[in-house]
């Protein structure tokens, strides 16, 4: 695992602040920043009337990318930053598994969808295909079955769909402050 830049998160406000201040880099060859990407994912979850837990998971699913300094194009160097584990390492101290487990599983969910949905695999962006190979490639049939049997797997698959959709250049969506009440309500 790459080194953590941020050892602790003090408050809901600090989490959203981190997203706002460090999320300005472009999102791995996509036409949006990390912040825009996260806000779009949370917006799609909200528009679908998902639970506050899943909305917050969508908002924070890529926080791990802001917690290391391995660089924006880390996958180009053949490194899987394990960003989902970095995020859960920090967020798990303050948010329930209903938030952190879909985050932890959102990369596995991509490997699951690649093995079970040919259309999904065909539509992956070039940078997502590159990171897929670093993440272990599509699941085998038995891996997919055991993944789906686990807790929060379906939430992770739903989150993954928002993740993949949240790359729309110029889309206007609410900012981080729109989610403060949700994060506060879930904060442990
Ligand atoms: Fe993402």
What pLDDT, in 10s, does the model give residues 89-124? 889 999 999 999 999 999 999 999 999 999 999 998
- Checking 168-177 for CB contacts under 8 A at 24+ apart, the result is 168/31, 168/32, 168/40, 169/31, 169/32, 171/36, 171/40, 173/36, 173/39, 173/40, 173/42, 173/43, 174/39, 174/43, 175/20, 175/39, 176/16, 176/19, 176/20, 176/35, 176/39, 176/59, 177/16
Q: Per-domain residue ranges for the chain?
A: 12-186
For the ranges 1-5, 9-13, 27-31, 169-173, the maximum mean pLDDT occurs at 169-173
Report how far ligand 1's centroid is from the alpha carbon of 166 (Å).
8
pTM, two decimal places: 0.90
CA of 26 to the centre of ligand 1 (A): 12
CA 52 / ligand 1 centre spacing (Å): 18
Which tokens hold the place of 69? 């300094």
CA of 165 to the centre of ligand 1 (A): 9
Distance 22 CA to ligand 1 centre (A): 15
CA of 43 from ligand 1 middle (Å) equals 13
CA of 37 to the centre of ligand 1 (A): 7
> b/e string for 86-99 if b means 16 or more Cβ within 10 A?
bbbbbbbebbeebb
Assigned architecture for domain 12-186? Orthogonal Bundle (1.10)
């Amino acid at each position: 695992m790459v080194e953590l830049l941020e050892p602790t998160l003090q408050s809901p406000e600090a989490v959203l602040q981190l997203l706002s201040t460090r999320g300005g880099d472009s999102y791995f060859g996509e036409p949006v920043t990390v912040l825009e990407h996260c806000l779009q994912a949370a917006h799609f979850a909200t528009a679908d009337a998902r639970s506050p837990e899943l909305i917050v998971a969508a908002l924070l699913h890529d926080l791990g990318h802001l917690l290391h300094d391995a660089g924006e194009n880390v996958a180009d160097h053949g490194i899987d930053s394990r960003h989902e584990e970095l995020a859960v390492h920090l967020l798990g101290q303050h948010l329930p598994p209903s938030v952190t487990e879909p985050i932890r599983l959102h990369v596995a969910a991509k490997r699951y969808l690649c093995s079970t949905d040919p259309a999904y695999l065909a539509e992956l962006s070039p940078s997502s295909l590159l990171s897929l190979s670093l993440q272990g490639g599509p699941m085998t049939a038995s891996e997919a079955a055991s993944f789906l049997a686990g807790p929060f797997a379906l939430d992770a698959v739903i989150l993954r769909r928002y993740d993949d959709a949240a790359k729309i250049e110029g889309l206007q969506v609410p900012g981080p402050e729109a989610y403060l009440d949700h994060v506060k309500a879930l904060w442990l």
